[in-house]
Structure 1
Amino acid sequence: MNAVSLLAEIGDVGRDRWRGGYSRHVFEPAETELREWFTEQARRRGLDVETDRNGNLWAWSGMPGPGAVVTGSHLDSVPGGGAFDGPLGVVSALEAIHAVRGPAAVVVFAEEEGGRFGVPCLGSRLLTGSIDAERAVALKDPAGMSVAEAARSAGLDPARFGRDDEALSRIGTFVELHVEQGRGLVGLGSPVAVGSTVIAHGRWRFSFSGQGNHAGTTSMADRRDPMLPAAEVVSAARRVACRAEGARATVGRLVPRPGGTNVIASTVDLWLDARGGVPVDEIVAVAREAAAAEGCAVTVVEESASGEVTFDAGLRRALRSVLGDVPELPTGAGHDAAILAPHVPVAMLYVRNPTGISHAPEEFAEDADVEYGARALAAVLRDLST
């Protein structure tokens, strides 16, 4: 078995016939099926599998203990995501773990994308204590189910969620392999790169409320339509981000209620994803001004925020000494590795993506590059364990 074959094994799990690509959300059937698949694959390799108190999966080679070499990624996806984001790191880790001399583990973090409950890297944030457990278990998905309810349905006890010093202390070094989510490697002549930094990023929820009414009988002058200030925020996000070098701002999700074609919405929620120094306060000011002009109210809640992360310099040198003069690349994508970085030495490997597209069905990596990445990860892990 190799990494390409392992990816092919899960190629039909969670296919999204409406969006295209894959929708694999934490504790839902597709992601649960992938957890079961991972457990089976790990046990075939003689690994001992356990689920920690926060829903993260660990497959151990040797006795768990301090100083272990740990690798892995995630199995969940964004709605309609690609085949490689997350699973590539997991299958590569399963193939590479045999190279470690000493205690080692493959970890699968829960809810990395935030595709169900809105907060990215939820499993690693809980593990490290960078999110309050009481807040985390109260998060709800679009259907109104809370993290606590979903966790119980998966056989977990949400009362035990929170910082896990025992699990954290076992990690001596953590290396995450991931498909590149951009075009940095295209044209550089290398199938892999070492990660250097992750830019600052966060998510904000804007909730506009107005007056729901009939689309045909309500005059334009009598409307308090929350869709209008919401539209102003969508436009302002692009405008404000374009003025800040290296910044990115996106509104990828907007939910009107009740959502009828011939109904003026009563409320509109939208989510702003802002990265790389976007002055979010300017966008908030636009929202408040536009809401007031339409006779609507608005509340803004920061759902998550992470500062810029620089990966461990010594580990980066170690990886490049093993792999040769491969490029170092920054990224605008968030990762569990970035959440762990303030607590343990962390490094990242990126595998070339010739399309440069991610979080979409067109995300891709060549078979040869997938296998090269798995071998590179094995070489790195072997070196770190000696």
Structure 2
Amino acid sequence: MTATATGLLAAIADVGADRTRGGYSRHGFDRVELELREWFTAEASKRGLAVETDRNGNIWAWWGNPGPDAVITGSHLDSVPGGGAFDGPLGVVSSLAAVDVLRAKGFTPRRPLAVVVFVEEEGGRFGVPCLGSRLMTGAIDADKARSLLDPDGVSLADAIKRSGADPSTLGPDEEALARIGCFVELHVEQGRGLTVPVGVASSILAHGRWRFTFTGEGNHAGATLMEDRRDPMVPAASLVLAARKAAVGGARATVGRVVPVPGGTNVIASEVNVWLDARAADDAATKSVVAEIQAMARQAAAEEGCGVRVTQESYGDTVVFDQVLRDDLSTVLGGVPALPTGAGHDAGILASRVPTAMLFVRNPTGVSHAPEEYAEPDDCEAGVAALATTLEHLAS
């Protein structure tokens, strides 16, 4: 059996299709993501891979006996709300297809080899990205993780219970980390930096998420004079503009989610929650951008007679991928280019503990986190070939 990446993607093309937003909505421990996990387990089992789920919900499919110094590849199956078909799943299906390629040529790994599927990488349901890898490495406190809430008020602990698993096991997993000799994640590029089908990653921008909670006075939209209002939507709107103004010199600042309370059309909100995503070349630059946005938000809130609270929900410093591993893979793949990325990945979380690398597949439009995300079929298969070459090199 030899599958293609595009064929495997086609097999899950109807799973989690979002008829309202377009694209896909697949979130950690929801019905759709559980269906995808079952699909992956079945595909791995067809290939004779031994499947296990770790204490944090990450799935491992082993070629050979699990052991230390293993070569690990894989990615994630979840998405942002209304996301594209490639972000995450391309890395998973390419890993399965690469196993097929190696098996077809009679290769037997001398080092343990596994495909991993990390849970809730996008943070689309519980707000914290790379949740599975953060829990495994201890980058997030397990009790804090268990208490995370989705937009419907369901906690991560309850969602895990509903899936049939035990949330009490969440937390650092030194046993799993000790097995990883290196981790290579294939991903669709989330930009237009590649002019060839495949490249390697050099670094990830420092980035984080902050929640701004503006509080004011709820009231009637028709009966309340403009001069009598303390409307938290006004400083919330100012925050959106402040983010655009502060993001200079290659920095990125985005407001992608605004939730007013109570949310009625003819109601002045009593509270507005605004989520800010900020990224820049390094830690100092990122925090400088956020500090500037916070100052503008506090001023706008004061002018409207409102209050504001700022909560940091996640943060990751600049990641520079293992240079020896990166250069080795670039050479093995014929001198493919290395490029930085502004997107976070599980490979970036693991980089603090184990050698990690990333392969990128060209994205002709540069669009990601949207239904228009795309990679040409030939480029996808070039990615599979590159990953198979990489795994053969590392596991020999």
Report the TM-score range of the alignment, normalised by the length of the smaller protein. over 0.9
Distance 1:14 1:73 in 2: 18
What is the identity, as a one-letter code, of the residue corresponding to 1:26? G
Aligned to 1:346: 356
**3-state SS in 2 of match to 1:239:** helix
Please give the per-residue CA displacement for 1:68-115, whole angstroms capped at 9, x wherever unaligned. Answer: 110000000000000000000000011113536131110000000000
Q: What is the aligned counterpart of 1:112 among 113, 121, 125?
A: 121
Aligned to 1:324: 334
What is the identity, as a one-letter code, of the residue corresponding to 1:216? G
Distance 1:287 1:120 in 2: 24
Please give the per-residue CA displacement for 1:205-252, whole angstroms capped at 9, x wherever unaligned. Answer: 00011111110000011111000010111100000112xx11000000
Q: Is the contact made by 1:97 and 1:106 (CA closer than 8 Å) also made in structure 2? A: no
Does residue 19 (structure 1) correspond to residue 21 (structure 2)? The answer is yes
Q: What is the aligned counterpart of 1:133 among 142, 152, 156?
A: 142
Q: What is the aligned counterpart of 2:156 among 139, 143, 147?
A: 147
Distance 2:123 2:99 in 1: 27
Distance 2:381 2:269 in 1: 50
What is the identity, as a one-letter code, of the residue corresponding to 1:228? V
Aligned to 1:232: 238
Distance 1:74 1:233 in 2: 32
Q: CA deviation at 1:294?
A: 1.1
Mapping 1:1-386, distance limit 5 Å: 1-97=3-99, 99=102, 101-102=109-110, 103-185=112-194, 188=195, 190-242=196-248, 245-276=249-280, 277-278=285-286, 279-386=289-396
**3-state SS in 2 of match to 1:360:** coil
Aligned length: 381
Q: Is the contact made by 1:73 and 1:87 (CA closer than 8 Å) also made in structure 2? A: yes
Distance 1:108 1:204 in 2: 27
Please give the per-residue CA displacement for 1:30-50, whole angstroms capped at 9, x wherever unaligned. Answer: 111100000000000000111
What is the identity, as a one-letter code, of the residue corresponding to 2:174? D
**3-state SS in 2 of match to 1:316:** helix
Distance 2:156 2:347 in 1: 22
Distance 2:168 2:29 in 1: 17
Please give the per-residue CA displacement for 1:114-149, whole angstroms capped at 9, x wherever unaligned. Answer: 000000000000000011111111110000001111
TM-score by length of 2: 0.95
Distance 1:328 1:137 in 2: 37
**3-state SS in 2 of match to 1:230:** helix
**3-state SS in 2 of match to 1:272:** strand
Q: Is the contact made by 1:97 and 1:105 (CA closer than 8 Å) also made in structure 2? A: no
**3-state SS in 1 of match to 2:247:** helix
What is the identity, as a one-letter code, of the residue corresponding to 2:224? T
Q: CA deviation at 1:154?
A: 1.4
Please give the per-residue CA displacement for 1:274-316, whole angstroms capped at 9, x wherever unaligned. Answer: 0002321111111111111111111100000100001111111
Name stretches of at least 5 consecutive residues in structure 1 with no aligned partner.
none
Aligned residues with identical type, % of pairs:
67
Q: CA deviation at 1:325?
A: 1.6
Deviating 4+ runs (over 6 angstroms): none
Distance 1:296 1:68 in 2: 54
Q: CA deviation at 1:61?
A: 0.9
TM-score by length of 1: 0.97
